[in-house]
């Protein structure tokens, strides 16, 4: 039940926060913070108290209950190290998002917090689901509240951006649903068990061409979210027009759901197809790294600049995932966490600037350090994190990805390293244009408030911690990544007889530890192995 509560607490908190808006404007804020704090405690408890369900098993908690048994759909939630890291990131960024919108959002506060909390519940659900339909369900649950966040509380072009975001993600999502259904029927025809359960579907033998098509359906959904160039065009618009909290959640979390989906589903479910796709995918990742960086440099809108840096940074994540070696996967996870923190913080700063200046145009800024030294210092620190300064988390992630890529192909590493150089260019150029130089317009602005300092300070502390001592995160993610990667590394060919598949490593571990090795079990009902 712990896992169900992880999802329910934000959801209920959101409902209460909405209802509490009638008592005053600070009620929804405090209630949201309290609910997220409580959820964070629950998640941390799993981190510190939990151990693997069985030796050699990456899973910490597994929960399954029937949902629509006649179709083999169940509420199957489970957490392993990777999921847990992502859930903790989600809750942390959620708290940041609530805290950073404290003064920005002054209208319809209750409904705003309801939407924030529902997005978070959907994101946590995505990180925990192991039933493909449940996963799709949460995947779509994230969509509508994000649309509202952008469309109601956003900036100038909010309607356009919100609809664009909605359509891009929904199109990707439907392609994924198509693939999920195709997978379901192929598996059902092959084994006689019609189930959407992750462990049942894993290792389904299929023709390479079919596997490729199904994989592309999943890949489309995740590539839109990640985003992979050329499916990224929604991102600059959505990030720019979203309110600060929306940008923080988009950059910090929604993009990560795409990467998570690739790690959790694409790699282990379609091992051979991924191998075939990898060269193209990696090329796209490289293009994303360079293209995002170059476009970031060309922006005059501060939030748009930060948005394009996301495209560049998420290119590293995709590269790491497609390298499919342990180092690169570790790097991708660290990069996901650190990108969430650093880019989230840059959006908080951009939001803070917009609140003070009422503009995001960098041509109208300059020399702001003199009037806001604390904000300038913070911005410099996060800009350095973003460009990959050693000692801060992003460096660890990027270097791991690069080392991992080098093992796969030295040639592929070269453009990615160029990305680091370009990152330095756009980060420092941003600092130059906003904070350094002459304060020609004579801005006189209040410096960071206590609240903002605490928010940004916490994020900085996280980056420093991850930069100097990333080992706890790496240790936590390791069993899960090894497991995912082993599934990927032992491709199941179409001609392999089913009997031998069952004796293979990952499949066996998966089924064995779920006490559902009995093939007649349709995955509809299992004991709660929660502890």
Partner 1 sequence: MTSADVRALLPLIVLTSAPVLVMLVVAFTRNHRLTCGLTVAGLIVAAASMGPAMGLAPREVTPLFVVDGFGLVYLGLILAAALAVTLLAYGYLEGRKEQPEEFYLLVLLATLGAAVLVIARHFASFLLGLEILSVSLYGLIAYDRTARRCVEAGLKYLVLAAASDAFLLFGMALIYAETGSLAFSPTPAPEMGRAIGVLYGTGLAMMITGIGFKLAVVPFHLWTPDVYQGAPAPVTAFVATVSKGAMFALMFRYLGPMSGVTGAPLFAVLSIIAIASMFVGNLTALLQNNVKRILAYSSIAHLGYLLVAFLASRPTSTRAVTFYLVAYFVTTLGAFGIVTILSTAERDADSLDDYRGLFWRRPWLAGTFTAMLLSLAGIPLTAGFIGKFFVMTAGVGSALWLLVTCLVVNSVIGIFYYTRVLVAMFSSPPEGAVVSAAMPHSLPGRVVLAVLLGLLFWLGVYPNVFLFVIEAAVAA
Stretch that binds partner 1, among 33-41, 54-62, 182-190, 289-297 (CB under 8 A): 182-190
159 binds partner 1 (CB under 8 A): yes
482 binds partner 1 (CB under 8 A): no
170 binds partner 1 (CB under 8 A): yes
Burial class of residue 442 (count of CB atoms within 10 Å of its CB; 0-12, 13-18, 19+): exposed
In this structure, what are the phi and psi dihedrals at residue 74, rounded to the nearest 5 degrees?
-130, 160
Least Å from the CB of residue 161 to partner 1: 12
Minimum Å gap between C-beta 162 and partner 1 is: 8
> Hunting for tokens 């330095």 — which residue is that?
424
Q: Are 240 and 189 in contact (CB under 8 A)?
A: no
CB of 186 to partner 1, least distance (A): 10
Tell me the window of 156-164, 291-299, 305-313, 477-485 that interacts with partner 1 (CB under 8 A). 156-164
Least Cβ distance, residue 122 to partner 1 (angstroms)? 9
Q: By CB under 8 A, tell whether 234 contacts partner 1.
A: no
Residues 70-109 that bind partner 1 (CB under 8 A): 70-71, 108
152 binds partner 1 (CB under 8 A): yes
- 467 Cβ neighbours under 8 A, 6+ residues apart: 338, 385, 390, 391, 392, 393, 394, 395, 396
Q: What is the CA radius of gyration of the chain?
A: 22
* Contact map string, positions 108 to 127, toward partner 1, x by CB under 8 A: x-------------------
147 forms part of the interface with partner 1 (CB under 8 A)? yes
Residue 135 in the binding site for partner 1 (CB under 8 A): no
Whether 238 contacts 162, CB under 8 Å: yes
**Contact status: 143 vs partner 1 (CB under 8 A):** yes
Task: Note whether 37 binds partner 1 by CB under 8 A.
Answer: no
Tell me the three state secondary structure of residue 334. helix
Distance in angstroms (rounded) separating the CA atoms of residues 330 and 506: 19
- Which ranges constitute the DSSP H helices of 24-107? 26-49, 81-100
Instruction: Determine if 15 is a binding residue for partner 1 (CB under 8 A).
Output: no
Measure the CA–CA gap between 419 and 308, rounded to whole angstroms.
13
Q: Is 166 in the site for partner 1 (CB under 8 A)?
A: yes
Which window, 137-145, 287-295, 397-405, 456-464, contacts partner 1 (CB under 8 A)?
A: 137-145
- Identify the residue among 15, 54, 65, 175 touching partner 1 (CB under 8 A): 175
The three-state secondary structure class of 261 is helix
If one asks whether residue 133 binds partner 1 (CB under 8 A), the answer comes out as yes
Residue 472 contacts partner 1 per CB under 8 A: no
The correct pick among 47, 67, 102, 443 for binding partner 1 (CB under 8 A) is 67
# residues contacting partner 1 (CB under 8 A): 32
In the complex, least distance from residue 152 CB atom to partner 1, rounded to whole angstroms: 5
DSSP per-residue codes, 160-171: HHHHHHHHHHHH
- Collapsed DSSP state (helix, strand, coil) of residue 131: strand
Retrieve residue 116's tokens. 């924030």
Token pair of 135 as six digits: 């996963």
Tokens 């090894």, residue? 482
Interface residue list for partner 1 (CB under 8 A): 67-71, 108, 133, 136-137, 140-141, 143-144, 147-148, 151-152, 159, 162-163, 166-167, 170-171, 174-175, 177-178, 181-182, 184-185
């Amino acid at each position: 039940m712990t896992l169900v509560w992880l999802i329910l607490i934000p959801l209920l908190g959101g409902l209460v926060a909405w209802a509490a808006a009638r008592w005053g404007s600070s009620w929804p804020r405090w209630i949201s913070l309290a609910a997220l704090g409580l959820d964070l405690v629950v998640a941390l408890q799993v981190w510190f108290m939990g151990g693997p369900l069985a030796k050699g098993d990456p899973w910490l908690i597994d929960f399954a209950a029937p949902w629509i048994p006649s179709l083999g759909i169940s509420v199957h939630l489970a957490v392993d190290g990777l999921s847990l890291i992502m859930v903790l990131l989600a809750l942390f960024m959620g708290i940041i998002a609530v805290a950073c919108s404290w003064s920005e959002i002054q209208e319809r506060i209750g409904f705003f917090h309801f939407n924030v909390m529902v997005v978070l519940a959907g994101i946590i659900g995505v990180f925990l689901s192991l039933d493909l339909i449940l996963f799709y369900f949460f995947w779509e649950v994230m969509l509508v509240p994000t649309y509202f966040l952008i469309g109601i509380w956003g900036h100038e072009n909010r309607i356009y951006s919100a609809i664009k975001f909605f359509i891009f993600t929904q199109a990707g999502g439907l392609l994924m649903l198509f693939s999920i259904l195709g997978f379901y029927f192929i598996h059902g025809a092959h084994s006689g068990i019609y189930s959407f359960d992750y462990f049942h579907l894993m290792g389904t033998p299929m023709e390479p061409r079919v596997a490729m098509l199904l994989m592309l359906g999943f890949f489309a959904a995740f590539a839109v979210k990640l985003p992979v160039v050329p499916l990224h065009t929604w991102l600059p618009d959505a990030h720019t027009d979203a309110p600060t909290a929306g940008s923080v959640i988009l950059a910090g979390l929604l993009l990560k759901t795409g990467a998570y989906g690739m790690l959790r589903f694409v790699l282990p479910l379609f091992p051979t197809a991924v191998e075939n796709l990898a060269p193209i995918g990696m090329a796209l990742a490289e293009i994303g790294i360079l293209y995002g960086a170059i476009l970031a440099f060309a922006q005059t809108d501060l939030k748009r600049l930060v948005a394009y840096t996301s495209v560049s940074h998420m290119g590293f994540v995709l590269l790491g995932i497609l390298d499919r070696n342990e180092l690169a996967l570790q790097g991708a996870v660290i990069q996901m966490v650190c990108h969430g923190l650093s880019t989230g913080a840059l959006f908080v700063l951009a939001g803070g600037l917009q609140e003070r200046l009422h503009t995001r145009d960098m041509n109208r800024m300059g020399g702001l350090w003199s009037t806001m030294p604390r904000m300038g210092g913070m911005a410099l620190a996060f800009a350095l994190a973003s460009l990959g300064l050693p000692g801060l988390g992003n460096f660890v992630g990027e270097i791991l990805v690069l080392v991992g890529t080098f093992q796969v192909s030295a040639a592929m590493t070269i453009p990615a390293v160029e990305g680091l150089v370009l990152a330095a260019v756009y980060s420092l150029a941003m600092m130059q244009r906003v904070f350094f130089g002459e304060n020609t317009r004579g801005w006189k602005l209040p410096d960071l408030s206590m609240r903002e300092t605490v928010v940004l300070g916490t994020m900085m502390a996280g980056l420093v911690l991850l930069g100097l001592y990333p080992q706890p995160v790496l240790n936590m993610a390791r069993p899960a990544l090894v497991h995912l990667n082993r599934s990927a590394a032992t491709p199941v060919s179409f001609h392999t007889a089913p009997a031998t598949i069952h004796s293979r490593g990952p499949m066996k571990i998966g089924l064995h530890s779920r006490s559902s090795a009995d093939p007649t079990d349709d995955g509809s009902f299992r004991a709660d192995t929660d502890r």
